[in-house]
Amino acid sequence: MHTILHNHEIAGALIARVFLGLLFFFQGFDAVFRVKISGVLQTIEDPLSRIGLPRFFIVSGAYFTSYVELIGGFFLIIGFAKYYAMYLLGIDLVIASIAFGIVKPMWDMQYAFPRLALLIFLLMIPSQWDVISVDYVWSIIKFIKSITPQ
């Protein structure tokens, strides 16, 4: 019990990472499996093509953001390749912000800002705080293998 009560930073890192992962995962799941990429394109294609953005960029952006949110969100939930996932999700937020800014210059950031804040928090905390993850277990296994005689 003593260990749990004195490791709030570990719990905080876990909760923040899993929560952010869930937000992205369900958004990506919705875009890939429910709305489908065609539905995402129906929403964004007309306003973005009106400003002269080539269809290739619009389609590429829709696929990139949808699948990065789905896969990156899942990776954050389990804590696998979490820094790569966070970098890609950061790029995803930038792309989405540009697209929403073009579509509606005064867009409501109520969905994007909490994700951005959690992402920056997770990138800034010491990695020793985020030990309940596949990455951490993998690092222990690699260390044990490195010191074990063959």
CA dist 90 and 20 (Å) reads 12
Give the model's pLDDT for residue 108: 77
Residue 7 phi/psi, 5° resolution? -130, 50
For the chain, which ranges sit under pLDDT 50? none
CB 45 within 8 A of CB 99: no
pLDDT tens, residue by residue, 133-149: 999 999 999 999 889 88
State how far the Cα of 62 lies from the Cα of 40, in Å rounded to an integer. Answer: 7
pLDDT at 100: 84
pLDDT of residue 2: 57
* Distance (Å, whole) CA 131 – CA 146: 20
In the 8-state DSSP scheme, what is residue 90? H
Each residue of 49-73: pLDDT tens digit?
988 999 999 999 999 999 999 999 9
CA distance 79 to 77: 6
pTM of the predicted model as reported, rounded to 2 decimal places: 0.90
| pLDDT of res. 4 | 59
